[in-house]
Each structure stands twice: as C-alpha cells, then as structure tokens.
Chain A
Amino acid sequence: MIILRIATSIFVFFAISRAYLRFKDRSLGATGFFLWTSIWALALLFIFDPNLSSIIAELTGLGRGADAAFLLSIILIFYLIFRLYIKIDTIDKNLTTLVIKLSKEQQLNREISEKTNQ
C-alpha cells in the first residue's frame, strides 16, 4: 500500500506540475488550472484516506466507497472526452476556415498578377 501511495503521489505531483507549467505559459486558463489541481488533489486524498470515498458513498447512497470512486471516474472521463471532442472540433473548424481563406486569397492574387502581366 505504501509503495502505491508513494507512486501515486509522485504521479500526482508530476501531473500538477505539468498543469502549472501550462498555466504559466498561458496555454491553460486559471479555471482550468484550478480544476485540474482540484481533481489531482482529490485523487491524492482518496489514496491517503480511503474512508473518504466511503463517506461520499454513504452520502450519495452508492454503497461501497469503491463504487462511488468508480462512478465519479467514469463521469469525469466522459466529461473529458466531451471537452476533447469540442476542442478538436473547434480546431478542425478553424483549420477549414483558414484553408478557405487561403484558397480565395491565392486565387485573387493570381488574378491580380495575371492582369498586371497583360
């Protein structure tokens, strides 16, 4: 158990440090940084105090603590997939807009240079 706790703690600190670096270089907003830090801090809490998950399970009526942790993880994963989908979709749309803009400009420049050469 101790080895698991140490390994998880190292991983969590690594994950938080990555989030901090992304926050520092402004590729992650303050809300995003807060959210990620909270998620990892919560994971750390669950590892060091497994009874905490049992308290949540009792409060939500989910039975065992492990069930509550499992359900929360699934919800979180779905939410992250959804966010990723939205992000990729936005990038894809921006890329299309860029390609369209470039192709129109290229053709207009071509026409201008043809007229100039005439």
Chain B
Amino acid sequence: METTSKKIYIVIPAYNEETGIASVISHLKDFGYENILVVNDGSNDYTEEKAREAGAEVLNQIINRGQGAALRTGIEYLREVYAPDIIVTFDADGQHQAKDIAAIIKPLIEEKFDIVLGSRFLNKKSNAPLLRKIVLKAGIIFTNFISNIKLTDTHNGFRALGKKAIQKINISHRGMEHASDIIDEITKNKLRYKEVPVEIIYTDYSRAKGQRTSGFAKIGIKILIKKLTQ
C-alpha cells in the first residue's frame, strides 16, 4: 500500500460468504489495508464469525436487505464513526483484486477527483463470459442514457469514494440497482469522477454467488420505475 496520511477504509457487503470472506480479508491485509468493515447482510451461515476471526469489524443486518442497503449501512457507519478520507467498496466473492486498490485510490489521494470507478472494460484483463459481457454492455448503454453520463462500466462494485462523495452520495435502492443510484448521484452532485481499469476475475464461485445475468432485466425495470415515480 502506498504510504499516505489519508484514512482509508474498505467496506465489504457480504451475504452467505463463509467460504471466501476470510481469504478476501487476508488478501486485503497482505496489501496493507487494515481498516476493513464487513456488512453482514442477514447471512444464515458463519460469515460474521469468519470475518471477525480474519480481523475485520463486522456490522450485522438482522435480515437480508441487498447489496445496496449493506453498502449504505457501511458508508453511513464509517462516515459517522470514523470520518474517513476514502472508502473503497469491495466485493466479498473474490472477484476484485486488492492490487488494484492503489490505482483506484490514487486520484483521490491527489485530490483531483471525488469518486473513482473501477472499469473491467478499460483493459482486456477481466475474463467476463460472453453472455455476461453482452448484457453488461447493454446495461452500460441503458444507464448512460438514463443517467446522462458516459462510462465504460456502470455496474462494477469496485469503486472508491473521496470525502465529498462520502458526504453527498445517497443510495436509495437496496438491491443491485444501487450502482445506478451512485451514478445518478455523481451527476446530481456534480462530483468529479474518473474510471480506472480493474481486473475482475470470474470464478465458478463468484458466478454462483454474484448477480445472475437474467437479473439485469429486473434491475432495468426497477430503475425505469424509479425514474417514472420520482
């Protein structure tokens, strides 16, 4: 980890991740990231115990409310208790690589941007399956159109929030649609944003745990309803 005086926190939403959560936490610690907050989203396995044993602080949501709600819990808690300079949102299924954090937080350390978004399409390293790639690209076109923004990857959970973004961003969707909320908040609050390439590693485990490709249509409908009822 690059030496900096900035207070950096990693927030990991986790739902039934007892198999992989400890290795994700130790992977982060190997790279020097010690401030790790796991938001246990109503898991009915040993996610909480495994995360605590691995050395993370754990917040428990008594019932499963979705990734958006877990991130909101984590960000609000960190903001109120630790007043961090940077919050990195990181997946619990091992898709994200701790080695990429340095690149994602660099523009925030230099205070040139307010939020940095990871993009799996800025380089060719990510091994996304073809169908997932097609659906993601369609999602990108849809979100860019709806949110009036130009991004290469709109549903990537790997991102870093600087101080202004931590204060301003309000996640209203409790599920996977929160990614669109964050993008909307960028335009609404005129946050300075940047995309950096990150590597997403798809494994059988992460594919089984992660968002189903068919679920993207549901996300699109929910975003449209939100726009219509706002």
Task: Quote the shortest CB–CB distance from B155 to chain A (angstroms).
Answer: 20
Interface residues on A, range: 10 to 19
Flag if A103 contacts B81 (CB, 8 Å).
no
Q: In terms of DSSP, what is the predominant structure of the interface of chain B?
A: mixed
Closest to A95 in B: B65
**CB contact list, B174-190 vs A, under 8 A:** 174
Report B-chain residues with C-beta under 8 Å of the C-beta of A115.
none
**CB contact list, A61-99 vs B, under 8 A:** 85-86, 89, 92-93, 95-96, 99
Task: Quote the shortest CB–CB distance from B222 to chain A (angstroms).
Answer: 10
Number of interface residues of B (CB under 8 A): 20
Report A-chain residues with C-beta under 8 Å of the C-beta of B60.
103, 106-107
Proximity bits, B8-41, A CB within 8 Å = 1, else 0:
0000000000000000000000000000000100
Q: Is B166 an interface residue (CB 8 A)?
A: no
Q: In terms of DSSP, what is the predominant structure of the interface of chain A?
A: helix
Flag if A108 contacts B81 (CB, 8 Å).
yes
Proximity bits, B49-82, A CB within 8 Å = 1, else 0:
0000000011111110100010011001100110
Known contacts A92-B174, A104-B77; A99/B59 CB under 8 A: no
Q: How far is the CA of A97 from the CA of B58 in the complex (A)?
A: 18
Q: Is A45 an interface residue (CB 8 A)?
A: no
Report B-chain residues with C-beta under 8 Å of the C-beta of A103.
39, 59-62, 73, 77
Report A-chain residues with C-beta under 8 Å of the C-beta of B58.
107
- Name B residues whose Cβ lies closer than 8 Å to a Cβ of A: 39, 57-63, 65, 69, 72-73, 76-77, 80-81, 172, 174, 225, 229
